[in-house]
Homo-oligomer: A and B are copies of this chain.
Amino acid sequence: MDKQVKEVLKRNRQHYLKKMMEFLSIPSISSDSNHKDDVRKAASWLADDLRNGGLEHVQILETAGHPVVYADYLKAEGKPTVLCYGHYDVQPVDPIEKWTSDPFKPVIKDNIIYGRGTSDDKGQVFMLAKAAETILEAKGELPVNIKFCFEGEEEIGSAHLDAFVDDHLDLLSADVLLVSDTTMLGMDQPAVSYALRGLCGLEVRLQGPKGDLHSGVYGGAVQNTLHAMIELLATLHDKQGHVTVKGFYDDVKPLSNEERKTCESLSNDEALKKELDVDSLYGEEGYSTIARIWSRPTLELNGVFGGFTGEGLKTVIPSQATAKITCRLVPDQDPAKIGAQLEKHLKEHLPVGVKLDVVLMDRADPFSMPVDHPALQAAHKALEEAFNTKAILSRQGGSVPIVNTFHDKLRLAPILMGFGLDSENFHAPNEHFHLQNFDRGLDALTSFLFYLPEYLK
Interface set of A (CB-CB < 8 Å, partner B): 197, 199, 201, 203, 208-210, 213-224, 226-227, 229-231, 233-234, 237, 272, 276-284, 289-290, 292-293, 296, 298, 300-309, 312-318, 321-322, 324, 326, 328, 351-355, 361-362, 396-399, 422
Beyond A216-B398, A230-B304, A304-B304, whether A223 also contacts B280 by CB under 8 A is yes
Contact A282 B222 (CB under 8 A): yes
Contact A353 B300 (CB under 8 A): no
Contact A315 B293 (CB under 8 A): no
Contact A307 B303 (CB under 8 A): yes
Bound complex: CA of A238 vs CA of B302, how far in Å?
26
Contact A361 B300 (CB under 8 A): no
Contact B300 A219 (CB under 8 A): yes
Contact A298 B231 (CB under 8 A): no
Bound complex: CA of A318 vs CA of B305, how far in Å?
12
Beyond A272-B221, A301-B307, A352-B282, whether A326 also contacts B398 by CB under 8 A is no
Contact A397 B361 (CB under 8 A): no
- CB-CB under 8 A from A361, the residues of chain B are 312-313
Residue of B nearest to A230 (CB): B233
Bound complex: CA of A398 vs CA of B217, how far in Å?
5
- CB-CB under 8 A from A326, the residues of chain B are 215, 313, 315
Contact B282 A217 (CB under 8 A): no
- CB-CB under 8 A from A308, the residues of chain B are 302-303, 324
Contact A399 B216 (CB under 8 A): yes
Bound complex: CA of A397 vs CA of B233, how far in Å?
29
- A278: which of B223, B289, B328, B397 is its contact (CB, 8 Å)? B223
Beyond A230-B230, A234-B234, whether A221 also contacts B293 by CB under 8 A is yes
Total copies of the chain:
2
A-B contact pairs, 27 of them (CB 8 A): A209-B278, A210-B276, A213-B276, A215-B300, A217-B422, A218-B293, A219-B298, A221-B289, A221-B290, A221-B292, A221-B293, A222-B282, A223-B280, A231-B237, A279-B353, A279-B355, A280-B352, A280-B353, A282-B353, A302-B307, A302-B313, A302-B316, A303-B308, A303-B316, A312-B362, A313-B324, A315-B398
- CB-CB under 8 A from A314, the residues of chain B are 302-303, 324
Contact B214 A398 (CB under 8 A): yes
Contact B324 A292 (CB under 8 A): no
- CB-CB under 8 A from A304, the residues of chain B are 226, 229-230, 304-307, 321
- Summarize A's interface: helix, strand, loop or mixed: mixed
- A276: which of B215, B222, B306 is its contact (CB, 8 Å)? B222
Contact A302 B318 (CB under 8 A): yes
Beyond A234-B230, A276-B209, whether A222 also contacts B281 by CB under 8 A is yes
Beyond A281-B353, A282-B353, A352-B282, whether A220 also contacts B328 by CB under 8 A is yes
Contact B301 A397 (CB under 8 A): no
- CB-CB under 8 A from A309, the residues of chain B are 303, 305, 322, 324
Instruction: Give 6 new A-B contacts, CB below 8 A, not counting A302-B307, A302-B308.
Output: A210-B276, A215-B328, A216-B396, A220-B298, A220-B397, A315-B398
Bound complex: CA of A221 vs CA of B197, how far in Å?
14
Contact B219 A282 (CB under 8 A): no
Residue of B nearest to A235 (CB): B234
Contact A300 B313 (CB under 8 A): no
Q: Smallest CB–CB gap between A301 and chain B, Å?
A: 4
Bound complex: CA of A308 vs CA of B272, how far in Å?
23
Contact A328 B216 (CB under 8 A): yes
Bound complex: CA of A367 vs CA of B186, how far in Å?
64
